[in-house]
């Protein structure tokens, strides 16, 4: 499936490690970006937990968290940067920098 291939491609770019936390928002895993060894966090949010959606500058519909992070992800010290995200049938995956 296209979603399966997209997830596979995402997971080929990162080495996923231990679970950092779990809550109503989903689960967060420690991971490493394979291209340069940078530490990242991968957040897996069940789609049915996404209550609010917004629109990205290119018109794409996205969870509000993604829209807001994309807005502040550059040039705001202290804001964790959203590196990429992926929409799957049952989950939203967010890749965040891990300072």
CA separation for the pair 98, 83 (Å, rounded): 10
- Geometric angle at alpha carbon 65, from 94 and 76, rounded to 5°: 90
Q: How far is CA 6 from the centre of its chain?
A: 13
Annotated binding-site residue numbers: 44
Token readout for 42 is 């991968």
CA–CA separation, 9 vs 22, rounded Å?
24
Asked if 87 and 8 count as a contact pair (C-beta separation under 8 A), the reply is no
* Binding-site residue set for ATP: 44
């Amino acid at each position: 499936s296209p979603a399966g291939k997209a997830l596979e491609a995402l997971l080929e770019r990162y080495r996923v490690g231990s679970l950092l936390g779990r809550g109503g928002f989903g689960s967060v895993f420690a991971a490493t970006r394979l291209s340069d060894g940078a530490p990242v966090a991968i957040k897996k949010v069940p789609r049915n937990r996404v209550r609010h959606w917004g629109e990205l500058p290119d018109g794409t519909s996205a969870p509000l968290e993604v829209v807001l992070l994309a807005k502040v992800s550059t040039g705001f010290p202290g804001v964790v940067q959203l590196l990429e995200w992926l929409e799957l049938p049952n989950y939203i995956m967010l890749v965040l920098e891990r300072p």
